[in-house]
Amino acid sequence: MNQKTEQNQLQEFEEQAEQEFNRALDKIGQQETTKTIDDIYFIPKQYTKMVANGFSRGFLLFGDAGIGKTYSVMKAFKEANKPFVMLSGHITSLELYHFLFEHKNENILLDDVNILESEQNLNMLKACLSDNSRVVSYHTSSSRLRVPNKFVFNGTMTLLLNKIPKEAESLKAVESRILTYELKLDYKTKIKILFELAKQDYKEINQEDRQIIVEWIKNNTSEATENLNLRLLFLCYEFFRFNKENWIRLASKTIKNDELIQMIVQGVSQNDWCDATGLNRRTYYRYKQKLQVVTK
């Protein structure tokens, strides 16, 4: 199998894992969960319920991809018995305006939509979340505008983002109008959640094999693993389903470690680290501090 074919197949596995991850979270969102999971997602769920019940007009939840942001928000809306409409993926400013108009009286969930790419998008969000009239407008001479060029937004807005740019004045104006929370999971917490997820049925994979898979993830990742998230479990499930004899070989290719942090995790001394990397002591301690944050 050539490199291009391997990359295409890996992409297919990742897309499948993404779909199954979302289905699993949706399923878990309708079930009783453990105290561990409930505690971890307590704040974002409570903030979402505040929005759902009219105590806040909006909520911004951000954090790394694949750590259950969508799960926590969807579960909270369902627990509050409040309907919502969700939009995800790339969208143009005009399409966003149409969507906001069509759902202007509803609870809107924007899941990793590219809203930060356009000042026009942010201005629309500011208008939706304004303390005053909440009039949203879109001025264009284009014939593609199929709704009025202004309307009053009476709904709520929940935004799920993976990252927030450091320099985004318009976004800060949005943040000041709504509840904001950063969901951060350290390494140990991620592993704990993965073991909880592995207890859930998954297609034809039995409990014993699910346990083997999650144990492999624990033993082959560390604080230096850059892509350790909840989706990784479902990706490994798909590798296992595809090829039970070689799933570990496939899974190993997906693990991405920060080599500089990996050396510190492995106990390399400051002097040896500096000699090996060509970097200075200040950089070493900066990475060590980063590692301490990850493992706290």
Burial 241-271 (b: 16+ CB within 10 A, else e): beeeeebbebbeeeeebbebbbbbbeebeee
The token pair at 118 is 């356009």
DSSP per residue over 219-251, as a string? HT--TTBTT-STHHHHHHHHHHHH-TTTHHHHH
The Cβ of residue 32 has, within 10 Å, a number of other Cβ atoms equal to 7
pLDDT at residue 26 in the model: 60
Q: Give burial (CB, 10 Å; 0-12/13-18/19+) of 178.
A: buried
pLDDT at residue 286 in the model: 82
Average pLDDT along the chain, 296 residues, taken 10 residues at a time: 60 67 61 71 95 94 88 90 92 92 96 82 88 87 87 94 70 81 90 88 93 96 88 91 92 88 82 85 81 56
Residue 168 gets the label, from left (phi > 0), alpha (psi -120 to 50) or beta, of: beta
Q: What is the pTM of this model?
A: 0.78
pLDDT at residue 28 in the model: 58
Task: Please work out, in degrees rounded to the nearest 5, the angle formed at the alpha carbon of residue 150 by the alpha carbons of 144 and 152.
Answer: 135
Specify the 3-state DSSP secondary structure of 139: coil
pLDDT at residue 43 in the model: 95
The token pair at 92 is 């143009």
- Among residues 139, 178, 138, 182, the alpha carbon closest in space to that of 155 is found at 178
The Cβ of residue 224 has, within 10 Å, a number of other Cβ atoms equal to 22
pLDDT at residue 166 in the model: 63
